[in-house]
Structure 1
Amino acid sequence: MKSTTRGTLVAVVTGVAAAVACAAPAAAVGTVPVPVPLDGVEKSLNMELPRIAGELPVPMPGAPEGPRYVEGRLIPERVLPQLPVTGGLPGLDVRSPLPHLLGDDFDHVGVDAPASDLRTLAPGLTLDAPLTPPNPDNFGLPDPKLPQVGLLAPVLQTVTGADVAAGPGL
């Protein structure tokens, strides 16, 4: 193998390893923090500005439940299975200074809405053929019947919460 080929191969393997190493911590964490830097504006205006930070969820697809074979049907149930996706709703943390409007003990008001878990299932499809399974009374031939089509409804489950507080300090 030529040295240029070996060098190219080493560069590709190193790049892939670096990409996997960087992606692994992001995938292990459920949310990614998003700070809003207002320090420069605060210093240029010479005033205290709110502290703002957010959290963005990282959606993680799950494994769909495969088709189930049911006795008496020619086509299995859940022809198009529902895909589960877990993630979250974005979070927000805002703390804003107050000029002692509520008394000497209250210097800030804050809203903390942490990222909350979210579980979803994509819509699915189930259908059945317009024929029954082979009928021994009819010489092994299937009987006709009305076709069946069903839509599996999407699912969305979450529990959210938020705190509003006022207190000393920022």
Structure 2
Amino acid sequence: MKSTTRGTLAAVFTCVAAAAGAAPAVAADAVPVPLPLQGVEKSLHVELPEVGGELPLPKPGSPEGPRYVEGRLLPDRVIPQLPVTAGLPGAGLRAPLPHLLGGDFDHVGLDAPASDLRTLGPGATLDAPLTAPRGAFGLPQPKLPEAGIITPVLQTVPTAGLGLGPGL
């Protein structure tokens, strides 16, 4: 086998392995973000808090189509709202807390998990300056045009927990 063929096969296998390794990361809802403090602990000879978090990945949804309303020439929601689901970032913190009566260390912990977040972007609605035709031979009547902006929506329920315990 020539060296160029071997190099090409090696490049193909490398790309396939990289794609297979990245596939589970793309399917995740959140990306963990640890804060490494072990080097500082060893250099200062002190016990530091453990800090970590997670960043959620936004997922766009499909917008609702226009709604046809009786009596209007144009459909309602000319520019539809785009839904996006994601989450608020989560955090975890465990800090040493010196025990006053002994040499042990207790800890204080704060856990704020990533919570779901649902949003809808702004949209627009508009109506023509004519009414719908009336009857079989009726003509549309003039009227004032209508335009409006649909406000964005943001819904979430964040939670957090604070606790004390032995050890770190």
TM-score, normalising length: structure 1: 0.83
Shift of residue 120, structure 1, vs aligned partner: 0.7
The one-letter amino acid paired with 2:153 is V
Aligned-pair Cα RMSD in Å? 2.7
Shift of residue 18, structure 1, vs aligned partner: 6.2
Shift of residue 89, structure 1, vs aligned partner: 0.3
Contact 2:132/2:141, CA 8 A, preserved across alignment: yes
1:71-102 Cα deviation digits (max 9, x unpaired): 2111111111011000000000000001114x
Moved >6 Å (runs of 4+): none
1:6-31 Cα deviation digits (max 9, x unpaired): x99xx78x85x667645542332211
Contact 2:117/2:154, CA 8 A, preserved across alignment: yes
The one-letter amino acid paired with 1:133 is A
Structure 1 residues 122 and 40: CA distance shift in structure 2, 3 A: same
Instruction: State the partner residue of 1:60.
Output: 59
Task: Structure 1: state its 5+ residue gaps.
Answer: none
Q: After alignment, is 140-149 or 115-124 more displaced?
A: 140-149
Count of residue pairs the alignment pairs up: 161
Instruction: State the partner residue of 1:81.
Output: 80
1:33-88 Cα deviation digits (max 9, x unpaired): 00000011111111111000001010000010011112211111111101100000
Structure 1 residues 70 and 23: CA distance shift in structure 2, 3 A: farther
For the residues of structure 2 that align with 1:47 and 1:68, how far apart are their CA atoms? 63
Superposition pairs for residues 98-117 of structure 1, below 5 Å?
98-101=97-100, 103-104=101-102, 107-117=106-116
> What percent of counterpart residues are identical?
70
For the residues of structure 2 that align with 1:37 and 1:93, how far apart are their CA atoms? 13
Contact 1:106/1:166, CA 8 A, preserved across alignment: no
Give SS of 1:142's match: coil
For the residues of structure 1 that align with 2:129 and 2:160, how far apart are their CA atoms? 52
For the residues of structure 1 that align with 2:54 and 2:152, how far apart are their CA atoms? 25
Q: After alignment, is 110-119 or 18-27 more displaced?
A: 18-27
Instruction: State the partner residue of 1:96.
Output: 95
Shift of residue 151, structure 1, vs aligned partner: 1.5
